[in-house]
Structure 1
Amino acid sequence: MKLTVKPRLEAILSGLGWSQSELSRRSGVPQPSLSRFDSVERHYDWHVAAILKATGATYEELFEVKETEEGVE
């Protein structure tokens, strides 16, 4: 099995009507880190925890997780 994880921060922000600056203010995560969140493969644990706490989102809302069999996409 292979897991593919795709961040969905922009969708969360859009749903809340928040800017990255607003989330940065509420979460303490630097705005430049937020601007790259959906395009990077690795995230600091504290960034994820702070974003989840500030937005009230679940992990499943913040990240789209897909399972595939190895070698099949």
Structure 2
Amino acid sequence: MKLKVTPRLNAVMKEKGWTQVRLSEASGVTQGSISRFDKNGRHEDWQVFSIAKALGVKVEELFEIEEAAEEDAE
């Protein structure tokens, strides 16, 4: 099984009415890292957990997770 994982931090922040500056202050993650979160394919573990804790959400909520269709090679 393959998973397609797409960051969705901006959507979560919008739902909660948070700005990047507020999240940066609450999480200890730089505002620059927060602004690039949805564009990056790699995330530092501590940043993901700090952001989730500050927002009061589960880590999984910061990402859209879908099962990707596996292509048969045969």
Say whether the fold is shared (TM-score over 0.5): yes
Number of the residue aligned with 1:11: 11
Instruction: Please tell me the residue identity of whatever aligns with 1:25.
Output: E
SS in 1 for 2:37: helix
Number of the residue aligned with 2:50: 50
Residue-by-residue CA offset, 1:50-69 (whole Å, 9 max, x unaligned): 00110011123111111123
Root-mean-square deviation (CA, aligned residues, Å) is 1.3
Tell me how far 1:13 sits from its aligned partner: 0.7
Number of the residue aligned with 1:65: 65
Distance 1:68 1:17 in 2: 31
CA contact (8 A) 2:3 2:66 kept: yes
Q: Say how many residue pairs are matched.
A: 72
Residue-by-residue CA offset, 1:20-66 (whole Å, 9 max, x unaligned): 00000000000000000001100000000100110011123111111
Instruction: Please tell me the residue identity of whatever aligns with 2:21.
Output: S
Stretch moving more, 25-34 or 51-60: 51-60
Distance 2:3 2:36 in 1: 21
The runs of 4+ residues in structure 1 deviating greater than 6 Å are: none
Q: Which has the larger radius of gyration?
A: 2
* Greater helix share, structure number: 1
Tell me how far 1:70 sits from its aligned partner: 2.0
